[in-house]
Amino acid sequence: MISQAFEGIKNLLVGLGVTFKNMLSQPATQCYPEVKREMPARYRGRHFLTRDEQGFENCVGCELCAINCPVSCIHVEAAENTEENRVSLGERYASRYEINLLRCIYCGYCEEACPEDAIILREHYELADYDRDVYVADKEALLVYPKPNEFRVNFLGNTTLKN
């Protein structure tokens, strides 16, 4: 009877031991969205159109990204640079550049195909939104380096956009 009680207490303590041990150790999960995970540099998150040192767009509107895209989520229209309106250094620039981020599978083939290093995929993974329309990212959106940590938790525990 007593030995049975000892046995029970021992098991209890062993069990509690595991609890206490884990209580003091670092958690494997992170408290998203309060804590944001650092992604590796080559993580394929959201797309971004680059500019050169002089501020000109690198994209020449060649559409190699569009033809390489396995889900056809990129649409490009090109136009000619003029003296008055110079957008990129060469003869041609993308007058329209759109990516459907909902359709995109983040394979990074567009980045591979680009002869000008004009499109790159970065570490941003916070892509949730309330509005479907914003998922067709146009040139204006793609040329701005996406701000990190866009989401926060409101007092009801729901995530919302900052501001």
Enumerate binding residues for another protein (CB under 8 A). Answer: 60-64, 66-67, 77-80, 90-92, 115-116
Question: Of the two residues 96 and 152, which places its CB atom closer to another protein in the complex?
Answer: 96
Give CA torsion, residues 148, 153, 159, 161, to 10 deg. Answer: -50
> In whole angstroms, how close is the CB of 72 to another protein at the nearest point?
11
Tokens standing for residue 80: 């000619």
Choice between 46 and 97, CB closer to another protein = 97
**Nearest CB to another protein, comparing residues 81 and 129:** 81
Structure tokens at 58: 């690198």
Q: Give min distance, CB of 162 to another protein, in A.
A: 37
Q: How far is the CB of 62 from another protein (least distance, A)?
A: 3
Q: Report whether 78 contacts 115 (CB < 8 A).
A: no
Give strand pairing partners of 96. Answer: 77
* Closest distance to another protein from the beta carbon of 143 (Å): 19
Q: Looking at beta carbons only, is 48 or 88 nearer to another protein?
A: 88
- Rounded to 5 degrees, φ, ψ at 111 are -65, -40
* Cβ within 8 Å of residue 65, ≥6 positions away: 74, 76, 109, 110, 111, 113, 114, 119
